[in-house]
Amino acid sequence: MPVKSLLDEFKQITRAVGNDAHRFTEQVTILFQDLLLAHPQKAFQALRVVKPVLVYRDAAIVTRFHDVVEVLTHDREFTVDMYGPPMQKITGDFILGLNQGPAYERGSSLLRLAFRQSDAPRVADLAAETAGRLVAEVLPSGRVDVVRDICDRVPAALVAQYLGVAGPDEPTLIEWSRVLFAEMFVNLTHDGVIAEQAAVATAGIQPHVDALVAGRRAALAGGEPARDTVLDRLLRQQALGSQALTDAEIRSNLIGLLVGMIPTISKASALAVDALLDRPMEWAAACSAARAGDHPLFARYVDEAMRLSPQTAGLIRRTVTDYRIARGTHHETLVPAGTYVFAATQSAMLDGSVVTDPTEFRIDRPASDYLHYGAGLHTCFGRFLNRLVIPAIVKAVLSIEGVRRQPGAAGELAIDGNFPTSMVLTFPRL
């Protein structure tokens, strides 16, 4: 859609909703979601040129690289206040819903001691083993649904084995995580159906996690050896010191982490496989990197696939003070206090003034070109794991001899709302 039509649509919304700021935000969000689904790259490209920081009433869209980073790194002005209400209902306090301050510092520090950067290689091995086992299971059939059979199941297994939070069964755990993610991060328009599904999932997951915490506490008290899981480590922190997370906080954090893990890793991996399938040369080169055991090179292919097919179009913040974005440039823009700001990371990663040949698939980019995991205070907590785990999943799929899309619609990546639901690949049976 040309930028003129986009701006015309904004004007129409203005006329239709009058002075109702809440309805305006809703309408713009709906418009923006539709545009993103239909032609995201075109919409962003137009905005980057014509109106890099578009502010209207209490909504703003920021599309250039430096401005997106400015928003995400100015956490005192651009807060995460809007995550608070849905999170309170689902998890209670969780770091992504907390602004900079003592509560954030305490939560993130205690969590980092239990969810450690040094675990990443072990967790990636677990991901590779699980993905390898799941691939081996489908080999006799000559067919795999990448989303259902692999991408959803690997992070669910990691949640069970690394966090220590198995579901009542795996499909329920996956479903809970999707529904809760949708309510916390996608349901900006307060869709009642999503909210209701989230209420049901919350009513299921909270007592389930409480029971797991109580069960592990009793087992440890009874002399059972500690498991090497985030849950057992958090319980051990309690035994060691008064600063530790309470049981209610452990529940909040475990739910927050699993919601952050399953839908995101699944979607990012499925999108990366899809993007590589569309590029036979890069697919072949990635396969040879995999065969050669060159993990860093393989990870570059995955990073680039993720940049061109990102897991999210952007991140939302709310200003608590008037702020001038891009001060001193020709597009310096005042964003008033109380504005909902959409920092379009997808657009930033395609900004040709920073990213060389932005629409080309290149594996020689500096790490700083990638904003998959956000920037600033709330940069993804799982990033150290993701950088190893997502390539491990993608590699397991690529390594299936003779794998290709099933002809027809089933072979395309199907997305329902925010999440991939299916993509069928076929290969010669073993």
| Residues that bind ligand HEM in the complex, under the rule CB under 6 A | 95-96, 108, 257, 260-261, 264-265, 268, 311, 315, 372-374, 378, 380-382, 385-386
Return the number of the residue (138 or 148) whose C-beta is nearest ligand HEM.
148
Return the number of the residue (9 or 175) whose C-beta is nearest ligand HEM.
175
Return the number of the residue (144 or 257) whose C-beta is nearest ligand HEM.
257
Q: List Cβ neighbours of 101 (8 Å cut-off, separation of 6 or more).
A: none
Q: How far is the CB of 141 from ligand HEM (least distance, A)?
A: 28
78 phi/psi in degrees, rounded to 5: -105, 100
Return the number of the residue (109 or 359) whose C-beta is nearest ligand HEM.
109
Q: How far is the CB of 418 from ligand HEM (least distance, A)?
A: 12
Q: How far is the CB of 126 from ligand HEM (least distance, A)?
A: 12
292 phi/psi in degrees, rounded to 5: -80, -5
Q: List Cβ neighbours of 360 (8 Å cut-off, separation of 6 or more).
A: none
Q: How far is the CB of 386 from ligand HEM (least distance, A)?
A: 5
The pair of three-digit structure tokens given for residue 185, joined into one six-digit string: 């991060």
Q: How far is the CB of 43 from ligand HEM (least distance, A)?
A: 20
Return the number of the residue (13 or 394) whose C-beta is nearest ligand HEM.
394
- 52 to each of 39, 62, 197, 370, 428, how far by Cα in Å? 17, 6, 36, 19, 49
Residue whose CB is nearest to ligand HEM in the complex, by number: 382
Return the number of the residue (55 or 380) whose C-beta is nearest ligand HEM.
380
Q: How far is the CB of 89 from ligand HEM (least distance, A)?
A: 18
Return the number of the residue (283 or 373) whose C-beta is nearest ligand HEM.
373
6/392 Cα distance (integer angstroms): 40
The pair of three-digit structure tokens given for residue 269, joined into one six-digit string: 């991996």
Return the number of the residue (290 or 305) whose C-beta is nearest ligand HEM.
305
The torsion of the CA quartet 259, 260, 263, 268, rounded to 10 degrees, works out to 180
Residue appearing with tokens 């090179």:
297
Q: List Cβ neighbours of 331 (8 Å cut-off, separation of 6 or more).
A: 51, 52, 53, 64
199/383 Cα distance (integer angstroms): 29
211/429 Cα distance (integer angstroms): 43
Give residue 316's identity as a one-letter amino acid code: I
Helix ranges restricted to H, 93-152: 102-114, 120-138
Q: How far is the CB of 430 from ligand HEM (least distance, A)?
A: 31
Residue appearing with tokens 């690529």:
398
Q: How far is the CB of 127 from ligand HEM (least distance, A)?
A: 10
Let me know: does 318 contact 340? Beta carbons within 8 Å. Answer: yes
Return the number of the residue (6 or 307) whose C-beta is nearest ligand HEM.
307
Q: How far is the CB of 172 from ligand HEM (least distance, A)?
A: 19
Q: How far is the CB of 163 from ligand HEM (least distance, A)?
A: 8
DSSP secondary structure letters along 347-413: HHTT-TTTSSSTTS--S---GGG--TT--GGG--TTHHHHHHHHHHHHHHHHTSTT-EEPTTGGGSP
93/79 Cα distance (integer angstroms): 15
Return the number of the residue (156 or 400) whose C-beta is nearest ligand HEM.
156
